[in-house]
Structure 1
Amino acid sequence: MRKITDFFRWSHKWIALVIAIYFIFKIATGIFLQLRKPVDWIQPPTLNGVGFKEYNPTISHDRILAAVKSVPEANVDTWSDILLLDMRMKNGIVKARTYDWYEVQVDTQTGEVLSHNQRWNDRIGGWHSGSAFGEATLIFFLILAILTFFLTVSGAWLSVTTTIEKVKNYKRRKIAEKIIAENMQDTVKTKAPFNLMRFCLDYHFYLSLIVAIPYLVVTYSGVMLQWRDVQGAYPGAAGGSLASVTGSSTIPTVTYNEAIKIALDNSEFGISKPKHIWRVYTYPNEGIISLRTKRYVGTRAQIDAATGEVLNVGEFTSDFWEDIHQGRFYEVTGNPNSKGYDYSLTLNIFMFVHIVAIIFWLLGTVAVIKLTITDRKRVST
């Protein structure tokens, strides 16, 4: 037990120094992304179309392209200018996103443009995941994410062992303090000088009791999401990816209702009603339409956007890990104006934890630097 604790203490210190910049970068971009739902300029709010809760998207892909082209700010001329179409079955709208992260929301029945705005969350999200810096960076970020998870595990271990030691030594310390106080009753008591390293270590420990469990959840789910991104960039990775499946044409001609019927008729997809489909994505440049069932451990069917051929059907857990990572645990029902999830949990708990984590990191960093300087002075003397 002692050897494990010593190893965790040693590795915790040096890993914290190695990933310091990455850790703060992740927290800073993560806080920005946590604010994307309540702050509309970060992520445009999802509107409701005429066919809200009708689950009947009658619009064709050509009509969507025409609607998006009518928005000058989108700078769209052909399908090659569109990154993806994100069709929301329940809301009755489709979100067209460009490679410049501009979004145009179109009604899936009338074809009317409901809104168009820049999606800053996607740009920051690319920084957060590392995808904005190139495919090679994804592997580098995955390694750093694993180190961050190990840092969290070692920190949690040290918090537990330190707590146990503090509890065991509490009575002994009180007895010792009482004896010292009795022996010094006739002397003038002096206050001990302020010790910066001791102060930082103490409060680093206290704050660890707040951030340990939430950060175990956040860092582990973060590793899973980084692994997903590596799979997407490198099709040879285990588990397959979007990039490993392509259609026969970059011009989508299969309608949404046709794609939905194809998915419903496929027994592997495992659903019987359109309302059980959570999202429908069209990737023009990959030539596929991807249909997903609702969150958690769902199913994804990928269909050729030109021929309607079923290319792939399988389990899809990415949405589950995103929910865990972002704190989307409580779904709001019965409120037509809700965005689906109660984001007050995210703001009131996760945001608080992130802010505490910054202070926590600063205290730990100062303590490590101070301890390193002290050790070097001791060795030199």
Structure 2
Amino acid sequence: MLRNTRKIHRWLGASLFVLFLIVSLSGVFLGWKKNSSGYILPKTQTGTTTDVAQWLSLDSLQSIAHKTLKDSINSELSIELSRIDARPEKGILKFVFENHYWSIQLDGATGEVLNIGQRRSDWIENVHDGSIVDGFLGTNGIFILLYTSLMGLALLGFTVTGFWLWYGPKHMRKTNR
């Protein structure tokens, strides 16, 4: 039993080495994203007021974000939005774009540009969960489902076989006495 467990453990490790390396390294970077001095994820700025009633209209702020993207980053980039994160407690809105990794933070009340930043964390997340490959292949989530299932089951396999490789010899010595 122990010999077979070693073979399974070794086979899993050898066959999935590259995927585990990618998942582990990207996981480490994601863990550090808020402590990277704004390199992995731009720091959230603070606006002039938290009173949402004093904020500019959403369409005005969106126009400012689009203009800033075109004027300050690249006029060829898509202005399609992935999401708008409103942070009333900080007085800001984050405009996150769909087809690239740029974001723009605006003061909700004045429309002042507080930050133009690359969201490297979004790219790292796409690598981590396999969605970057899913997007490249155009499989609409099927690759992500297969990839995360494979990685989850492999981790479960490593846990079970690793436990048995640790516990098995103890159990066998106890039984042989």
1:211 aligns with 2:12: no
1:199 aligns with 2:4: yes
Deviation readout 1:75-112 (Å, 9 max, x if unpaired): xxxxxxxxxxxxxxxxxxxxxxxxxxxxxxxxxxxxxx
Q: Structure 2 counterpart of 1:280, which letter?
A: I
Deviation readout 1:96-145 (Å, 9 max, x if unpaired): xxxxxxxxxxxxxxxxxxxxxxxxxxxxxxxxxxxxxxxxxxxxxxxxxx
In 2 relative to 1, CA 230–341 (structure 1 residues): closer, same or farther, beyond 3 Å? farther
User: Structure 2 CA distance, aligned partners of 1:226 and 1:250?
Assistant: 29
Q: Structure 2 counterpart of 1:257, which letter?
A: D
1:246 aligns with 2:46: yes
* Number of equivalent positions: 166
Whether contact under 8 Å (1:264, 1:270) holds in the other structure is no
- TM superposition score normalised by structure 2: 0.78
Q: Structure 2 counterpart of 1:309, which letter?
A: E
The SS at the match of 1:367 is: helix
In 2 relative to 1, CA 210–357 (structure 1 residues): closer, same or farther, beyond 3 Å? farther
Greater relative contact order (Cα 8 A, min sep 6): structure 1 or 2?
2
The SS at the match of 1:331 is: helix
Q: How does 1:227-242 map to 2 (within 5 A)?
A: 227-231=32-36, 237=37, 239=39, 241-242=42-43
In 2 relative to 1, CA 357–343 (structure 1 residues): closer, same or farther, beyond 3 Å? same
User: Structure 2 CA distance, aligned partners of 1:271 and 1:290?
Assistant: 19
Whether contact under 8 Å (2:134, 2:144) holds in the other structure is no
1:367 aligns with 2:165: yes
Deviation readout 1:17-53 (Å, 9 max, x if unpaired): xxxxxxxxxxxxxxxxxxxxxxxxxxxxxxxxxxxxx
1:264 aligns with 2:62: no
Q: Structure 2 counterpart of 1:356, which letter?
A: A
The SS at the match of 1:242 is: coil
Q: How does 1:217-228 map to 2 (within 5 A)?
A: 217-228=22-33
| 1:270 positional shift | 2.6
1:283 aligns with 2:87: yes
1:330 aligns with 2:134: yes
- Equivalent residue for 1:123? none
Deviation readout 1:259-310 (Å, 9 max, x if unpaired): 22212332224346774333221111111111122355x2111100111111
Q: Structure 1 counterpart of 2:18, which letter?
A: I
Larger radius of gyration: 1
- TM superposition score normalised by structure 1: 0.39
Whether contact under 8 Å (1:292, 1:299) holds in the other structure is yes
Whether contact under 8 Å (1:269, 1:300) holds in the other structure is no
Q: Structure 1 counterpart of 2:113, which letter?
A: V
Deviation readout 1:348-379 (Å, 9 max, x if unpaired): 232123113202221022213445x49x99xx
1:300 aligns with 2:96: no
User: Structure 2 CA distance, aligned partners of 1:282 and 1:238?
Assistant: 19
In 2 relative to 1, CA 248–316 (structure 1 residues): closer, same or farther, beyond 3 Å? same
Q: Structure 1 counterpart of 2:25, which letter?
A: Y
Deviation readout 1:312-351 (Å, 9 max, x if unpaired): 112221111111111112339xxxxxxx971111222321
| 1:256 positional shift | 2.4
Q: Structure 2 counterpart of 1:225, which letter?
A: L
In 2 relative to 1, CA 341–254 (structure 1 residues): closer, same or farther, beyond 3 Å? farther
Taking only the aligned residue pairs, the percentage that are identical comes to 24
